[in-house]
Structure 1
Amino acid sequence: MSARPTGRQAIVLRATDEPVAGTTNPPPHQRYRHPQISLEPRGLGPLAPENVRVEMLYAGLCGTDIHLTECDRDTGYVRSSAPAHLPPEGRILGHEGVGRVLESGTDVHHLQTDDIVAFASIQACWVCDTCKQGAPNQCPEARLLGTEIDGLFATVADIPAVLALHVSSTPLADEEIQAAACLEPAGCALLACEKTAIRPSDRVLVLGGGPIGQYAALAASRRYNAAHVQLIEPLRVRRELARQWCDEVATPDQLDHALRGGVDVVLECSGDLSVLDTVFPAIRPEGRVALLGRNGQPLHLKNVDHMITNAIQLVGSRGHLGGPQAQALALHRNGILPLLAPVTGTLSSLDELAELLQDPARAVQGHCKLLIDLSAT
């Protein structure tokens, strides 16, 4: 038996805690300034009874990670509005990934050493009324992995076992391990598709061709068999990728033309809420809109009468708890939802990731989904 690790390397984010004057309970983009990324050693203390200790194999880079490391040039505040708590000692980033169980806490009985596990990113309490009513994504006591509790950008991670999704008890091919690292964003996309109840007769418009947008378009086309799926995305590399599973792909400048046929379902994955005012008049009666992208900006709609008259539903969609990740894994294994399809590159180490996050805009310009190979770190 190999010796148990006592330390690890981890990607740590620190920022100045300086809330905007006059704000109450400010979100991160109004609280944290001048983010700094470092790759540093971190010790491993005693394993908490409810946790598992995991040797990380692959992790996924998310827009939330990027937006927490980017800042406004004028104010210095981070771009992310997703819930975050960055203590003085820093936060280990990362909420998408897959690893091998090294050790289980004394209260963990459903996982064994060497099990392969992927992770949910929302730690719900599971005992409040909201959780008991079947809405753990909206748990008021929820904490987010990699932003409010330490995450997965590490060689070894101590994670609450309730977040671990058992993927396999037997060795997996490398491609299957990589696919498991993509379950978190795929689960988020599937949940949004479920919330909007996509039907085979629907015309679906996806705004934003990042990873979640790509998975949403894939699911709408191949899981829900929508009649027509179109995606709007400014970056060419992401448009070209989406052509494989979308009926139409266009730039934001071509949005008016894309709306001429009308739409039944809108999946807003870009965070640019200003576009919705243009989209709303083209939404057909009984249309459904799901908001996934965050940027902390307000939503302004001039066409509220159209929304009322046509009974258009507007919902927020956060997370993936309640089964979408397991569904995504099953769909992948059945050839319906290829989880690796949006992956356009793999970083070879935490060192390479730390260097990239010094200039996070580079992670967006030439890629869609980036994975990090942690198996040799």
Structure 2
Amino acid sequence: MRTAAVVLRAVSQARPYARSRPVEVEELELGAPREGEALVRIAAASLCHSDLSVVNGDRVRPLPMALGHEAVGIVQETGPGVARVAAGDHVALVFVPSCGFCERCAEGRPALCPAAAAANGSGGLLHGPSLLRDAAGRAVNHQLGVSAFAEYAVVAQESLVPIPADVPFSVASLFGCAVLTGAGAVLNTAGLRAGQSAVVYGLGGVGLSAVLGARAAGAGPIVAVDPVAAKRELALRLGATHACPPEEAEESVRELTGGGAAYAFEAVGSAAVTAACLRAVGRGGTVVCVGLPAPDRTLDTVPALAFAGEGKSLVGSYMGDAVPRRDIPRFLALWRAGLMPVEEMHSGTLRLTTPEVNQALESLADGTAIRQVIDTSGLLTG
């Protein structure tokens, strides 16, 4: 079948992206679902900084690639052997499938599944190579097994989590990446408890989701840090007790917590911010790294004495250490209870066109947008 999809053919740092247009909406041929796969009509797809990182080359991926990894949709048909979903199901798409059998999956850390990592790195799907072809018949790679900036996508059943049909698509679209990663880092990786202090550096979709997770955990104080005033104001509406620009963070956190936070969450993808987080936590504090830095960045300004001498910890969190089939329903329940108002992060809705998608990438790059939602197939507007 044919589907319109956003395709990146070469990395670009030429901004503004609205002018340089690094991506194009192309008509692609999409193969039928194989064993273990399902065809999904994409209803809403959100732009994430990880998409921008592929465009600008910070995340090296095989090109050409059909972009998009944070989305929801409706299952249209299934291939042989599919038991997790059925035609008509509303589903959240998850950018890390899992085999279910390896050591990482068995210990409850499916986001670290080696088979999924290999499939995602190859540009294929968990059950086979790419199903996308361009007008010349050449293969186009899948982004993280999803490629959701499109009208339709074929994905592994392991990348699909059924969700209630009454959850608005524009809301549900944020739960497959931003909420899993940010709130998961707080509630799963850190295990933040009521009354513990937290500071979040970087207030994009993931950082703001970490603020929501800290609020849901009953943490306090919750300090939100970002250079953009509008993002700090939004963080306060979402549950942060205090907000400040980066240059004021260290002193503010010390004053508010009596010496340093129990936890700091790095949601920028910056080695320098990781070092700032280590300074912001107190003795025995923990820094949780959530953001993805460029692969050539190194931690060369971290005092080694912070660990054995002050009992501090530095831990990584990939996809919030989430178990998607457990955590997406769990976080949606928090949304229903009013504890995760993710709709506040919705910066706007756009159509699946070349000009609008490139403008949305620029809005993400310049920091003016949090989560922009693509109405990929007209289901949001009817």
Question: What is residue 316 of structure 1 aligned with on the other side?
Answer: 316
2:148 aligned with 1:152: yes
Which of 273, 285, 288 pairs up with 1:287?
285
Question: What is residue 371 of structure 2 aligned with on the other side?
Answer: 369
Higher fraction of helix: 2
* Cα separation, partners in 2 of 1:44 and 1:220, compared to 1, 3 Å: same
Question: What is residue 239 of structure 1 aligned with on the other side?
Answer: 232
2:42 aligned with 1:56: yes
2:21 aligned with 1:47: no
Question: What is residue 224 of structure 1 aligned with on the other side?
Answer: 217
Shift of 1:13: 1.2
**Cα deviations by residue, 1:240-273 (Å, 9 ceiling, x for unpaired):** 2112121111111212332323211000001122
**Cα deviations by residue, 1:112-164 (Å, 9 ceiling, x for unpaired):** 22211111110223222222232222222224485344511100111111111
Shift of 1:329: 1.4
Q: SS in structure 2 opposite 1:329?
A: helix
Q: SS in structure 2 opposite 1:15?
A: coil
- Letter of the 1:84 partner, please give it: R
Q: SS in structure 2 opposite 1:200?
A: coil
* Cα separation, partners in 2 of 1:362 and 1:271, compared to 1, 3 Å: closer
Q: d(CA) in 1 for partners of 2:253 and 2:74?
A: 46
- Letter of the 1:12 partner, please give it: V
CA contact (8 A) 2:194 2:219 kept: yes
- Letter of the 2:99 partner, please give it: C
Q: SS in structure 2 opposite 1:42?
A: strand
Q: SS in structure 2 opposite 1:326?
A: helix
Question: What is residue 27 of structure 1 aligned with on the other side?
Answer: none
CA contact (8 A) 1:153 1:350 kept: no
CA contact (8 A) 1:51 1:159 kept: yes
Report matched runs for 1:56-95 at 5 Å.
56-70=42-56, 78=57, 80-81=58-59, 84-86=61-63, 90-95=64-69
Q: d(CA) in 2 for partners of 1:353 and 1:341?
A: 21
Q: d(CA) in 1 for partners of 2:262 and 2:330?
A: 24
Question: What is residue 11 of structure 1 aligned with on the other side?
Answer: 6
Q: SS in structure 2 opposite 1:360?
A: helix
CA contact (8 A) 2:266 2:277 kept: no
CA contact (8 A) 2:46 2:70 kept: yes
**Cα deviations by residue, 1:155-196 (Å, 9 ceiling, x for unpaired):** 01111111111013xx536xx221110102101112211211
2:336 aligned with 1:333: yes
Question: What is residue 161 of structure 2 aligned with on the other side?
Answer: 165
Question: What is residue 262 of structure 2 aligned with on the other side?
Answer: 264
Question: What is residue 22 of structure 1 aligned with on the other side?
Answer: none
Normalised TM-score (structure 2): 0.82
Indicate the RMSD between aligned Cα atoms, in angstroms.
2.4
* Cα separation, partners in 2 of 1:200 and 1:307, compared to 1, 3 Å: same
Q: d(CA) in 1 for partners of 2:274 and 2:181?
A: 20
2:236 aligned with 1:213: no
Normalised TM-score (structure 1): 0.83
- Letter of the 1:286 partner, please give it: G
Question: What is residue 123 of structure 1 aligned with on the other side?
Answer: 97
Moved more, 211-220 or 184-193: 184-193
**Cα deviations by residue, 1:82-115 (Å, 9 ceiling, x for unpaired):** x6332xxx21111101101111112112322221
Q: d(CA) in 2 for partners of 1:260 and 1:279?
A: 12
Q: d(CA) in 2 for partners of 1:225 and 1:130?
A: 30
CA contact (8 A) 1:259 1:279 kept: no
Which of 325, 348, 351 pairs up with 2:351?
348
Q: d(CA) in 2 for partners of 1:84 and 1:134?
A: 27
Q: d(CA) in 1 for partners of 2:288 and 2:210?
A: 11
CA contact (8 A) 1:349 1:376 kept: no
Question: What is residue 28 of structure 1 aligned with on the other side?
Answer: none
* Cα separation, partners in 2 of 1:69 and 1:327, compared to 1, 3 Å: same
Question: What is residue 190 of structure 1 aligned with on the other side?
Answer: 183
Count how many residue pairs are aligned between Structure 1 and Structure 2. 338
* Cα separation, partners in 2 of 1:94 and 1:314, compared to 1, 3 Å: same
Runs of 4+ residues over 6 Å off in structure 1 = none
2:171 aligned with 1:179: yes
Question: What is residue 111 of structure 2 aligned with on the other side?
Answer: 137
Q: d(CA) in 1 for partners of 2:185 and 2:76?
A: 34
CA contact (8 A) 1:12 1:92 kept: yes
Structure 1 residues not aligned, in runs of 5+: 1-5, 17-33, 71-77
Q: SS in structure 2 opposite 1:226?
A: coil
Q: SS in structure 2 opposite 1:109?
A: coil
Q: SS in structure 2 opposite 1:341?
A: helix
Q: SS in structure 2 opposite 1:66?
A: helix
Q: SS in structure 2 opposite 1:345?
A: strand
% same residue:
25
* Cα separation, partners in 2 of 1:156 and 1:361, compared to 1, 3 Å: same
